[in-house]
Amino acid sequence: MKNDNTILWRLYNDYTKKFLNKIIIAAFFAILVAGSTSSIAWLLDPAIEKIFIEKDQTLIFTIPILIIIAFSTKGISLYLAKTTMIGVGEEIKKILQENMLKSFIEADTQFIENKHTGKYISNLTFDVSMITNLLTNALLNLFKDSLTLIGLLVVMFYQNWKLALIAIIMIPLASYMARSLGKRVGKVTTQATEKSALLTTYLIEIFKNHKLIKIFQNEDYENTRAKKYIDDLKEKNKKIGIVFVRATPIMETLTGIMIAVLIFYSGKLILNGELDINNFFSFLAAMMLAYQPVRSLATLNLAVNQGLSAAKRILPIVDNQNQITDKKDDKPIVLSKGTVDFKEVNFNYIKNSEGPILKSINLNIEGGKMTALVGHSGAGKSTIMNLIPRFYDAVSGDILIDKTSIYRTKIKSLRENISLVSQDTTLFDDTIKNNIIYANRDVSNEAIIEAAKLSFADEFINRLPNKYDTIIGENGVRLSGGEKQRLSIARAMLKDSKIILLDEATSSLDAETENKIQKAINILTKDRTTLVIAHRLSTILNCDKIYVVDNGKVVDEGKHDELINNSAIYKNFYEKQLRKD
């Protein structure tokens, strides 16, 4: 419970506290709701006594008007209280989502890769909504219904304290029931969130692999899988709904018993002259009006448990501390030649797991020249490349650029000097222009056009109806592989960095397109330190130095002619590439 209290305090301090002035306004309207609801019950006393019993015509208009005013005040105040809290809720949701997105954007690559995108999306939508409900609706209901219940209890005790004592027995019974249901709803909500995340994950996979589903004719199989995901989520949501309404039959039964007991006992009090009929009806109205706040307060614990369960999933994301950060004494890196050296570098994606992925890597990537990594798939080439811009940090060893350790330089200054052109070209669902200038948003239109020309991208751009303002779709879905690659090269050209990391992907392109991309790459890498994962013979032959990577180790190094004669692994790799070409 202490942990739950800590979470509630954190949510209040970080989010709700910022809107305390609006919450106080909503609380004022909640007081009006409580007061007007209590006055409705109280007005029945003089209405029955003066109009129906004493037949006093002077109040025949006054009391009905007062009742209308009371109901109107209640309705308007409830509306204003709820709309105020809706505004607060949306503001809190915005802050939570901004905090989460900031955490995602700035997070280490490894943190993002720990969980499927769909689960993070579920956190951002489903969980945030439950926390917002806790901090707004639950808070308003707690204040409004507590005050309303207190006001109605005052009316009930004013009319007859004996009957009031009988009526309030319902409150501890409802509270006990709510506590037991709250534990259950917290567990079921967590399960529902997991199922929602799985459905979102599956939806992303469907969109991403839509062509694959078509070509292998797996529509029926995927429909079956989709039905299972939806059914699982339906069952969990159904359980949540059932838990919430489980209070209804108990509350209705309790209310029936209370009314029956009260009528029986009231009848005895009236016969003994201890209670007037007008007092009884005012009391009964107060008790019936108290049903709603008692029921709301009884189920409040459920919303609290839902919100707390969601907070336990969201706050660790908001609080995520990156492992790859600047140290106090780190300085901006200043490049001269741009020579990169790996010194006994070991790496594993999961610390303390058996066997490193990279083992004692030693490389010398000479400044202003092209160095290639060759080897079979899974050898560790991409992992080596990803260590240079510190997407990941080595477990041990050091990486130096111009004899300065990258682990003692500011990360921003390091990445400013590195461009990456990957075989998995990543583009945004935006215009061609915005995708090109993503590397440098302060360039002129002339520079954009020049980069497009140098990368041969202007050839297809000028054929498009909106040219540079053409929206290219999710990850450039409306472009061919070669067109996406040329945009990626144009983007890297605009950055104009000293070090180029190049994961070639030209093997699936036609000869003409490949030739253009190769020319664009030659322009991009001229006089720059280039580390390339080589897939094509032309690239391999043009490299100043080649490192052969096998099973996480550098097993051979040298120029092409040397390796052909001295390295069996390289010769085998080269001959396979020769057959492909």
Q: Residue 274 belongs to a domain with what CATH number?
A: 1.20.1560.10
Q: Give the contacts of 319 (CB within 8 A, at least 6 positions apart).
A: none
Interval 517-569: pLDDT, tens? 788 888 888 888 989 887 777 777 778 889 988 888 888 888 888 888 888 88
CA distance 490 to 516: 13
Q: Which residues pair with 373 in a beta bridge?
A: 533, 547
pLDDT at 395 over 50: yes
Q: Are the CB atoms for 492 and 419 separated by under 8 Å? A: yes
Which residue, chain included where needed, has tokens 């440098």?
Answer: 440
Q: Are the CB atoms for 185 and 240 separated by under 8 Å? A: yes
Give the pLDDT confidence score for residue 180 in this predicted structure: 64
CA distance 351 to 111: 13
Give the pLDDT confidence score for residue 340 in this predicted structure: 92
Between β-strands 529-533 and 545-550, what pairing exists: parallel, antiparallel or unpaired?
unpaired
More confident residue, 90 or 251: 90
Q: Which residues pair with 409 in a beta bridge?
A: 331
Q: Which residues pair with 396 in a beta bridge?
A: 346
Range in 63-77, 229-243, 363-377, 552-566 with the lowest mean pLDDT: 229-243
Could you tell me which of 494, 540, 496, 497 has the C-alpha nearest to residue 518? 540
pLDDT at 1 over 50: no
pLDDT at 347 over 70: yes
CA distance 475 to 424: 10
Range in 191-195, 379-383, 443-447, 466-470 with the lowest mean pLDDT: 191-195
pLDDT at 49 over 80: no
Q: Are the CB atoms for 2 and 74 separated by under 8 Å? A: no
CA distance 509 to 135: 55
Residue 566 falls inside a structural domain: no
Mean pLDDT of 413-442: 83
CA distance 25 to 83: 11
Mean pLDDT of 56-78: 83
pLDDT at 240 over 60: yes
CA torsion, points 226, 232, 233, 238, in degrees to nearest 10?
140
**φ/ψ (deg, to 5) at 403:** 70, 15
Residue 191 falls inside a structural domain: yes
Q: How confident is the model at residue 491 (pLDDT cuts 50, 70, 90)?
A: confident
Q: How confident is the model at residue 400 (pLDDT cuts 50, 70, 90)?
A: very high
Residue 24 falls inside a structural domain: yes
DSSP state of 350: S
CA distance 265 to 169: 15
Q: Which H or E element spans position 340?
A: strand 340-347
For the four alpha carbons of 335, 337, 338 and 342, in that order, the dihedral sign comes to negative
CB atoms within 10 A of CB 292: 14
Whole-number CA gyration radius for the chain: 35
Q: How confident is the model at residue 380 (pLDDT cuts 50, 70, 90)?
A: confident
3-state secondary structure of 255: helix
Mean pLDDT of 128-155: 83
CA distance 383 to 378: 9
Q: What is the number of structural domains in the chain?
A: 1
Residue 574 falls inside a structural domain: no
Q: How confident is the model at residue 507 (pLDDT cuts 50, 70, 90)?
A: low
More confident residue, 432 or 288: 432
Q: Are the CB atoms for 310 and 190 separated by under 8 Å? A: no
Report the interhelical angle of 20-46 vs 277-318 (nearest 10°). 160
Alpha-helical segments (H) within 15-126: 20-46, 62-106, 109-113, 117-122
Give the pLDDT confidence score for residue 109 in this predicted structure: 79
3-state secondary structure of 402: coil
Residue 22 falls inside a structural domain: yes
CB atoms within 10 A of CB 114: 13
Report the share of the chain in percent with pLDDT over 90.
4
Residue 80 falls inside a structural domain: yes
Could you tell me which of 414, 429, 216, 435 has the C-alpha nearest to residue 325? 414
CA distance 470 to 464: 7
The amino acid occupying position 570 is Y
CA distance 147 to 161: 19
More confident residue, 383 or 180: 383
CA distances from 328 to 73, 404, 408 (A): 60, 16, 9
Give the pLDDT confidence score for residue 131 in this predicted structure: 84
Could you tell me which of 3, 300, 308, 347 has the C-alpha nearest to residue 142? 300
Report the interhelical angle of 445-454 vs 511-525 (nearest 10°). 120
Give the pLDDT confidence score for residue 510 in this predicted structure: 63
Range in 215-219, 266-270, 550-554 with the lowest mean pLDDT: 215-219
Domain extent, residue 257, equals 2-318
Q: How confident is the model at residue 439 (pLDDT cuts 50, 70, 90)?
A: confident
CA distance 134 to 144: 14
CA torsion, points 502, 503, 509, 512, in degrees to nearest 10?
20
pLDDT at 168 over 60: yes
CA distance 138 to 289: 20
More confident residue, 443 or 251: 443
Burial of 266 (0-12, 13-18, 19+ CB in 10 A): buried
Residue 30 falls inside a structural domain: yes
Mean pLDDT of 253-271: 79
Could you tell me which of 400, 397, 392 has the C-alpha nearest to residue 360? 397
CA distance 531 to 418: 11
Report the share of the chain in percent with pLDDT over 70.
90
Between β-strands 545-550 and 370-374, what pairing exists: parallel, antiparallel or unpaired?
parallel
Q: How confident is the model at residue 312 (pLDDT cuts 50, 70, 90)?
A: confident
Give the pLDDT confidence score for residue 111 in this predicted structure: 79
Give the pLDDT confidence score for residue 80 in this predicted structure: 92
Residue 284 falls inside a structural domain: yes
